[in-house]
Each structure stands twice: as structure tokens, then as C-alpha cells.
Amino acid sequence: MNEIEKMRSGLLADFNAPEVQDSFRHCKKLLAKFRTMSTYDDDYRTVLEDLIPGIPETSVIMPPFHCDHGHGIRLGEHVFVNAGCTFLDGAYITIGDYTLIAPNVQIYTPHHPIDYRERRASKEYSYPVTIGKDCWIGGGAIILPGVTIGDRCIIGAGSVVTKDVPSDSLAVGNPAIVKRRLDSKE
């Protein structure tokens, strides 16, 4: 199992391994191009599809955008990611259809060891983040490693999501707590 496979499996992985560094390098070069673009540029879609393989034609990411690898991001149809977002995709970040991500949202999958001696090594864990369909993630929200947000949720602006949020919920605060259930018409 190589270090990227370990990373995607939640195992302690060495982020200085050659295959991880190659992935970082590929991503950073594409992001440098992407930062200078608008969604109206002719090659916007080409760069985006190289950065995030398999991104649906109906989904949009507004520059500037930051991620670690790109190939760990899986978006559904009609997903909109506004400007200034950071998706650290050591593990998979999966976002369902019709979900809206406001500006400056941060989604983290990396998690460092608790013991400071272990943190000195170039190793970390990564835990997947999943966001359901038809969600709205408010501006500046932070979603921590291993969190699952159900379908049709709203996460308030500036919230820090540390635990799973069930479908049809409004969650706000630091740490985010479910304030109320939302009425689903589905």
C-alpha cells in the first residue's frame, strides 16, 4: 500500500513520501494557474477538470481555491463552491448534488497525532468528510476531519463543525450544535 492509499484509508501516512510530494506538486502548479483565472476564461474548465478529475460539468468552483491534491475531492451535480475556499483532501471530501458552499469555507481531512513526539515526524492521519445533497454551508464555516453532514442541512456562517450533523438540521456555533430540525418536503 503506497502512502496515498494509506492516507485515503485513515492510516498514518508519510506526507514526505515521493508519491505524495508528486501529488502536491501537480496540484500546486494547477492552483497557481487557477488563481489567475475567472470562470469566464476559455481554459477555466480544462484546468478545473485537471485539478479535480471527474468534476461534473454542472459543478463550479470559483477561484481562488486551495486544496492539497484535488483528486480527493468528489462533487455531485450542480455543486457551487464560492471563492476563497480551502479543501485539504488527504482523505476524500464528498459533496452531494445541489450543495452550496459559501466563500472562505474550510474543509479539513488531515489530523495530526496527539503525542507531540509523533507530530515531529512528517506523518498524519486523514479522515473523510462527507456533505450530503441540497446543503448550504455558510461563509467561513470550518468542517473538521471525519465529519458527516446529512442531506438538506444548513451550517451557519462561521460555525466550526466538530461532530456529525443529521439530515434536515440547522447547525450553528463553535462548536456547531443543531439548533433545530428543518422541514423537508422530500
Cβ 62 vs Cβ 81: under 8 Å: yes
Give catalytic residues, as residue numbers.
112
Per residue, what are the HEC states of the chain? CCHHHHHHCCCCEECCCHHHHHHHHHHHHHHHHHHCCCCCCCCHHHHHHHHCCCCCCCCEECCCEEECCCCCEEECCCCEECCCEEEECCCCEEECCCCEECCCCEEECEECCCCHHHHCCCEEEECCEEECCCCEECCCCEECCCCEECCCCEECCCCEECCCECCCEEEEECCEEEEEECCCCC
